[in-house]
Copies of this chain bind each other. A is one copy, B any other.
Amino acid sequence: MTAVAELRKTVASLHRELTRYGLVSWTAGNVSARVPGAGLMVIKPSGVSYDDLGPDAMVVTDLNGELVEGELAPSSDTAAHAYVYRHLPEVGGVAHTHSPYATAWAARGEPIPCVLTMIADEFGGDIPVGPFALIGDDSIGRGIVETLRGSRSPAVLMRNHGPFTVGADARAAVKAAVLVEDVARTVHFAHQLGTPDAIDPQHVDRLYARYRNVYGQ
């Protein structure tokens, strides 16, 4: 199977994680993967039901978002994904949802404070807020890239909009999308009845380093 064919399968199946964890409603939300070394990306088509997102429905664009392969129009967030791939060469995957708890923090423009070991592990500190940006040009992409450059977090909460997440590949970006909602929710609950203590920054560093180096297979 070619790299593109393989990535069509991967990206299609990762969209099922968005519905499994309740991160998306109707046709909102999207995942993409960079095609390594090819100047291309594989992304979800615009406005198609999650039930119909098989590998063949995925579309391929160049890194300016121009359609290269596929019969459907690409996601309306394609320009933002493309901007990220052009400016962050280490990123191999991008995910975007309007998951409810993360989007509530985004609506208030408040970073999610690092009060859980899971936040230290996966995000390495507070989860930052990006600017309000209109769709239609490079504003969203620029807001994502500028915010992520100042942070270890693979997630940014775009103001009044929702989370965008990145990773070394599409699976890592989707993992960050799942975990940003998980911790956004738990910290929301914690704040409803009090104010949890932040984890000491030195402990955050140790947890973050260990999770990168020891966790998993």
Contact = CB atoms under 8 A, between A and B. Distances in A.
A150 interface: no
B109 A197 contact: yes
Given A107-B115, A210-B135, A182 B100 contact: yes
Given A26-B175, A28-B118, A196-B160, A189 B135 contact: no
Interface in A161-217: 161-162, 175, 178-179, 182, 185-197, 199, 203, 206-207, 210, 214-217
A206 B134 contact: yes
A217 B197 CA distance: 44
A182 B98 contact: yes
Contacts of A111: none
A161 B103 contact: no
Nearest to A136: B210
Interface in A72-114: 72-73, 76, 98, 100-101, 103-105, 107-110
Most buried by B among A185, A186, A206: A186
Nearest to A202: B134
B216 A160 contact: no
Given A108-B194, A160-B196, A197-B160, A189 B101 contact: yes
Given A28-B118, A76-B215, A116-B162, 12 more contacts: A26-B179, A45-B217, A47-B215, A98-B186, A103-B116, A107-B196, A109-B196, A109-B197, A110-B193, A160-B199, A188-B192, A192-B193
